Chains A and B, each alone.
Chain A
C-alpha cells in the first residue's frame, strides 16, 4: 500500500493570496492521485484527480494540482483563495490494482480577511 505525506498540517493564508498544499507519496510505477476537501462536520468531497495524461489537473473552483512522477508529488495550488476555501484538504493515492485509497494526514487551510 502507498504511504502519503502531507508536509503541512496547518496553512494560514490571507484572502486573495495564493496557497500551495504539498503532498508526496511512496514510489510506484502506476498510481491514481486524488485531492479531497472536507468542510467542518461534513464528509469528504472529491476536489480533483489524476489518472493519466496531462500532469496538470484542474477543479471547477480554481484549484489545480500537478503530478510529478520523478518527485512522487501531487501538490495542490490555488492562485487566489476565498474565505469559503477554509477547510481541511486530504491527498489520497492508490496503486492501480488496489482496493482502497491511502490518505495523508490532512492540511487545514484557514483563510483570513
Chain B
C-alpha cells in the first residue's frame, strides 16, 4: 500500500535561519507531488507541485523553494526564514493520471518562526 511520510511534525526556527522539510512517498512510482501551506484563517495555499524528477512548478512567489531529487522525494527549503513563513505545511501526492483518486496528504509540519 502507498504511504506518505512528512517530517518533522513540529519545528521552531528563528528568523533568518534555513529550512528543510522533507516528504517521501512509498508504494508508488512517478507520483505528482505537492506542497501546501495553511496559515491561520487563510485556507490551503498551493506553493509548489512536481510532475517528475527535477520538474518544479511554483505557484506563489516567495522566499521558499522546492526540489525533487528522487522520484518519491519532495523537499521544501528556505535560505532565510521570515516571520510570515510560519504555518502548517502539508505535502501531498497523487498517482500520475489518477486525478479521480484525489490527493493523499501527509500529516503536516507545524512551523513557527520566532
Contacts and interface: CB of A to CB of B under 8 A. Distances in A.
A110 B69 CA distance: 41
Contacts of B104: 46
12 contacts: A34-B102, A41-B108, A41-B110, A43-B105, A43-B107, A44-B103, A46-B104, A92-B103, A98-B99, A99-B32, A100-B49, A101-B99
Contacts of B107: 42-43
Interface residues of B, number: 22
Contacts of A59: none
Contact of B43 (A51, A101, A106): A106
Interface size class of A (residues with CB under 8 A): 20 to 34
Given A94-B99, A106-B43, 9 more contacts: A41-B108, A42-B107, A43-B105, A44-B90, A44-B103, A46-B103, A98-B99, A100-B49, A106-B44
